[in-house]
Amino acid sequence: MATGLAIGLFFAVMPVPMQMIFAGVIAMRFRSNVPVAMASCWLSNPVTNVPIWAFQLVLGNWIQSLLHLPMPEILGMQKHLPGVGMVHAGTFILGALASGLLLALLAFPLVHLLALLMPQHFPVRPHKAEKVSAFMRKIRAQREARRIARHQQTPPTP
């Protein structure tokens, strides 16, 4: 559940379309909780996008000024916004990545802390032995047979 939430919150603040699809695919790849990853993308919606983007601009400007990072020319899009100041596409992307990483890193230990504080509210999965299909048993048997055959063919070392 913690990994799914971390993945979902990372993609929730990314300014890309189809965040839920990205979060779901990555959650499947990491074998984490796909519904939690997709539902946590609902953090960003038309009401919350503007404050999230404003925070990302401020965070990106702060990181860029703190580390004195040069912005690449390919992202040389600059505009002056009243009340915000100079906005550079590179600092916005930097702020988006930093805020996504920050949320993901905060979500993981937070879920584990809540699980420690309220264990009755989190499901406990019983440990199951790994189920192996007949196909995989056959592949493993062939590998083992090849390994034994290679071991028997090698001449003994003097």
Domain ranges of the chain: 2-129
Which has the minimum average pLDDT: 13-17, 73-77, 106-110? Answer: 73-77
pLDDT at 116: 84
pLDDT of residue 120 exceeding 80, the answer is no
* CA-angle at 131, arms to 127 and 137, nearest 5°: 145
What φ, ψ does residue 65 adopt, rounded to 5°? -75, -35
> How many angstroms from the chain centroid is the CA of residue 88?
25
Query: Residue 84 pLDDT > 70, yes or no?
Result: no
108 neighbors 3 (Cβ within 8 angstroms): yes
Q: How confident is the model at residue 118 (pLDDT cuts 50, 70, 90)?
A: confident
Tokens standing for residue 71: 């912005």
Greatest C-alpha distance within the chain: 83
pTM, 2 dp: 0.69
Q: Which residues on adjacent β-strands are paired with residue 85?
A: 81
CA triplet 36, 108, 1: central angle to 5 degrees? 30
Q: Is the pLDDT assigned to residue 76 strictly greater than 60?
A: no
Residue 85, classed as helix, strand or coil, is strand
User: Residue range 2-10: average pLDDT?
Assistant: 92
- Of the pLDDT bands very low, low, confident and very high (cuts 50, 70, 90), residue 61 is confident
Give me the pLDDT at residue 98, please.
95
79's torsion region: left (phi>0), alpha (psi -120 to 50) or beta?
Answer: beta
Mean of the per-residue pLDDT values for the chain?
A: 84
Amino acid sitting at position 55: F
Angstrom distance (rounded) from CA 93 to CA 86:
14
Residue 70: what pLDDT? 82
- Whole-angstrom distance, CA of residue 80 vs CA of residue 82: 7
CA distances (Å), 120 to each of 47, 87, 117, 127, in order?
34, 47, 9, 18
